[in-house]
């Protein structure tokens, strides 16, 4: 079951957040869901420009129910350096991160951008029903800055968490969300509780962008449901699978 399938099956009218929107893989379908308001966060200028162009092509402009944020999200407001690796002259945008510099990889060039950082809580958003988060190792900080929003709104979350971006993150991020009353699950030929996940066998890959290949399976998309709604969410997902 793909990430979009999960969000579509569990959609509730309200505010949807695409954090790490890149060029709109989920922003655009989010915007088509009924009674949705979408906030898309993408600090990489080139990716944000393509996202804006795609919205213009589909809607004739950025529609009023979509808000684009060029800032990164974090645990506290300020600034950060967004670094993306460059291999043989090709910018690896999918690896862009404010959590790491890639300095330890001698064969990898880099491109850096200084970006503004805000907290999700600082935006005071209301009626948040769903969050997609992919921050290349900065998931912990994003969630730390979203504690009040998650506690108040109780959205469902899809979070990409990878040990190759931040060792220990498959332990630390779920632990933080458990403190906030969230239950973690993942999909691999069926739905499994996060307690069944074994990073040592199910998520083996190099932290070097120049080294390709990964374990089979390679599970990195995790879903978190408020404990009070977890049973109903899983029932709907199993019916939709």
Residue with tokens 């899809």: 158
pLDDT for position 76: 98
Question: Can you tell me the distance from the alpha carbon of 169 to that of 140, in angstroms, rounded to the nearest whole number?
Answer: 8
3-240 maps to which CATH number? 3.40.50.150
What is the structure's pLDDT at 207? 93
> How far does Cα 161 stand from its chain's mean position?
8
Rounded to whole angstroms, the Cα distance separating 78 from 91 reads 26
CA-CA-CA-CA torsion sign (81, 29, 121, 70): positive
As a whole number of angstroms, the distance between CA 42 and CA 23 comes to: 8
User: Tokens standing for 67?
Assistant: 């808000």
pTM, whole model, 2 decimals?
0.96
DSSP state of 97: B
pLDDT at 212: 85
Tens-binned pLDDT, residue by residue, of the chain (241 aa): 999 999 999 999 999 999 999 999 999 999 999 999 999 999 999 999 999 999 999 999 999 999 999 999 999 999 999 999 999 999 999 999 999 999 998 889 999 999 999 999 999 999 999 999 999 999 999 999 999 999 999 999 999 999 999 999 999 999 999 999 999 999 999 999 999 999 999 999 999 999 988 999 999 999 999 999 999 999 999 999 8
Closest CA to 11 of 34, 27, 28: 34
Beta bridge partners of 15: 37, 128
User: Among 25, 159, 138, 23, which Cα is nearest to 91's?
Assistant: 23
Per-residue HEC secondary structure of 135-162 comes to: CCCCHHHHHHCCHHHHHHHCCEEEEECC
- The confidence score (pLDDT) of residue 231 equals 98
């Amino acid at each position: 079951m793909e990430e979009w399938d999960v969000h579509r099956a569990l959609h509730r009218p309200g505010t949807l957040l695409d954090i790490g929107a890149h060029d709109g893989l989920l922003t655009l379908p989010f915007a088509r869901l009924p009674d949705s308001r979408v906030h898309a966060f993408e600090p990489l200028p080139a990716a944000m420009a393509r996202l804006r162009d795609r919205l213009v092509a589909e809607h004739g402009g950025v529609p009023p129910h979509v808000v684009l944020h060029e800032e990164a999200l974090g645990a506290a407001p300020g600034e950060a350096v967004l670094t993306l690796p460059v291999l043989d002259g090709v910018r690896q945008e999918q690896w862009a991160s404010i959590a790491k510099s890639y300095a330890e990889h001698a064969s990898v060039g880099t491109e850096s951008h200084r970006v503004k950082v805000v907290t999700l809580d600082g935006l005071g958003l209301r009626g948040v029903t769903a969050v997609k988060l992919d921050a290349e190792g900065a998931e912990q900080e994003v969630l730390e800055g979203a504690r009040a929003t998650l506690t108040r709104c109780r959205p469902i979350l899809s979070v990409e968490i990878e040990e190759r971006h931040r060792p220990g993150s498959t332990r630390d991020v779920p632990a933080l969300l458990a403190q906030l009353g969230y239950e973690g699950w993942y999909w691999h030929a069926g739905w499994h509780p996060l307690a069944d996940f074994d990073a040592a066998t199910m998520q083996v890959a190099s932290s070097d962008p120049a080294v390709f290949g990964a374990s089979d399976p390679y599970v990195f998309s995790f879903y978190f449901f408020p404990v009070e709604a977890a049973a109903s969410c899983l029932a709907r997902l199993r019916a939709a699978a």
